[in-house]
Amino acid sequence: MDSIKTSAYMPTEIEVENISKNKIKVIAYPFESGFGVTLAHPLRRLLFSSTVGFAPIAVKIEGVTHEFDSIRGMLEDVALFIINLKNIRFKIKNDEERVVLNYSFSGPKEIKGSDLNNDEVEIVTPENYFCTINEDAELNFTVIVEKGIGYVPSENIREDLDADFIALDGFFTPVKKAVYDIENVLVEDNPNFEKVVFTVETDGLITPLVAFKNSLEAMYSQMSVFNGLLNIEAVAVEETQSVSVELGKLLQSVEDLNLSARSFNCLDRANIKFIGELALMDENELKNLKNLGKKSLEEIKQVMEDLEFPVGFEFQDGAKEVLEEKIQDLKSEKNEG
C-alpha cells in the first residue's frame, strides 16, 4: 500500500541539453504521476502563443496592384514573391515595434535574405532565397515589419493599411518546434514518477532557452491573478517561482557556455563547475582567479551578460542562499560519485 501523503512531491532536477545553436532539450523531474503533462501542455501552448517575434505584415511593390499580379523581368510571380518574403525572418535592431523598409534592386541579380539587411533590421535567415531578376529588371518595394506574438491573419491587418499595400499573414512566433515527452523515472522504489523532456527549436530570432524562459514567465504572469486568494502568501509564491526560473539556468555546467579552451580551463582549475558560481562572484573575485587573463575575463563577462545573469548579479531575497546551497549539494554529489 502506498504511503499516505499530505502534499505532492516537489521536483528538484532540471537539465538543459544544447542540441544545436537554435535547438535545446529541457529536462525536469521527478513529478508526481499526472503532474508532468499538467504543466507541460500549457507551457507548449505558451511557447507558440506568447513568445515575441517579428514578421513582415505588408508589402507594396512598384507597378503591382494585387497579389496575383506579375512583375516584368522577375522569375517569380507576386504570389511566390510573397511566400518567399514571409519565409525570411526579420529582427528589428532598435526598440521600435514597427519599421517601414524601402528596397531597390537592379538586375541581373539573385536576391537572398542577406540582401535585405540594413541599419534598421537584421536578417536571421540570410541564406533564404527570395527572388531572381534579369538584366532589364528593376525591383522597388516597401515592406512593413512589426513586432508581435502568435499569428495574426491578413484580414485583421488589412484595415489599418494604405490601399496600395498588400496585407500578409503575420507569423510572429520565433518558435519552430515545441514538443514534449513524458517518461517514467524511479523515486524511492516507485517507478511511477514522471520526467518531462521538452524539445524547443527557434528560427534564430531568439535562443530556445530564452523562448522557454519567456513561456514560464507568461505562465506565472497569467497565474498571478489568483495571488489575491493567497493574501500574504502571494509574495512568497512569486519569490519561489522566480527562484525556480533562475535555478534552471544557473545550475547548468560551465561547459554549456561554450567558452574558449583557455577560459574554460582556468575555471576548471579553480573548481568552478556551474554557471551560477560566476553569477555569485563579483568582478574583483573573477579577476583574482589564477591565470585568468584580461581577454578571458571579458569573454566570461560577455557570455554572462548574454544570459542575463551578469557577473555580480543582484539576486532576489532568498534566491542567492538557495542557489549557493544547491550548488554545494551538486558538488558534493559529484565528489561522492
Q: What is the DSSP letter of 231?
A: T
Q: Band of the pLDDT at 233, cuts 50, 70, 90?
A: very low
pLDDT of the residue at 237 = 43
Q: Report the residue count for the chain.
A: 337
For 53-171, CATH gives 2.170.120.12
191-205, 233-247, 318-332: segment of lowest average pLDDT? 233-247
pLDDT of the residue at 179 = 96
Q: How far apart are CA 2 and CA 268, in angstroms?
A: 44
Residue 54 backbone dihedrals phi, psi, to 5 degrees: -135, 150
Domain with CATH 3.30.1360.10 in the chain: 1-51+174-230
* Alpha-carbon distance values, 3 to 6, 186, 188 (Å): 10, 16, 12
Cis bond before residue 208 (omega within 30° of 0):
no
35-44, 115-124, 197-206, 259-268: segment of lowest average pLDDT? 259-268
C-alpha cell at position 304: 554572462
| pLDDT > 70 in the chain, percent | 91
Domain with CATH 2.170.120.12 in the chain: 53-171
pLDDT of the residue at 334 = 63
59-73, 200-214, 269-283: segment of lowest average pLDDT? 269-283
Q: How far apart are CA 298 and CA 300, in angstroms?
A: 6
Looking up cell 507558440 gives 48
Beta strands in 109-187 (DSSP E): 109-112, 121-123, 129-133, 138-149, 151-152, 166-167, 170-171, 175-187
The predicted model gives 69-85 an average pLDDT of 93
Summarised one tens digit per residue, pLDDT across range 164-175 is 999 999 999 999
Record the pTM.
0.63
Summarised one tens digit per residue, pLDDT across range 306-332 is 888 888 887 765 677 777 877 887 777
For 233-337, CATH gives 1.10.150.20
The predicted model gives 21-45 an average pLDDT of 93
Say how many CA atoms lie within 13 Å of 294 toward its Cβ.
Answer: 0
79-93, 111-125, 218-232, 301-315: segment of lowest average pLDDT? 218-232
pLDDT of the residue at 234 = 42
For 1-51+174-230, CATH gives 3.30.1360.10
Domain with CATH 1.10.150.20 in the chain: 233-337
pLDDT of the residue at 124 = 94
C-alpha cell at position 298: 571579458
Q: Is residue 36's pLDDT more than 70?
A: yes
Q: Band of the pLDDT at 62, cuts 50, 70, 90?
A: very high
Summarised one tens digit per residue, pLDDT across range 266-294 is 888 888 888 888 888 888 888 888 888 88
Looking up cell 567558452 gives 259
The predicted model gives 52-56 an average pLDDT of 94
C-alpha cell at position 306: 548574454
Q: Where are the alpha helices (DSSP H) in 227-280?
A: 227-230, 233-250, 261-269, 275-280
* Alpha-carbon distance values, 149 to 106, 201, 215, 216, 233 (Å): 35, 16, 12, 15, 32
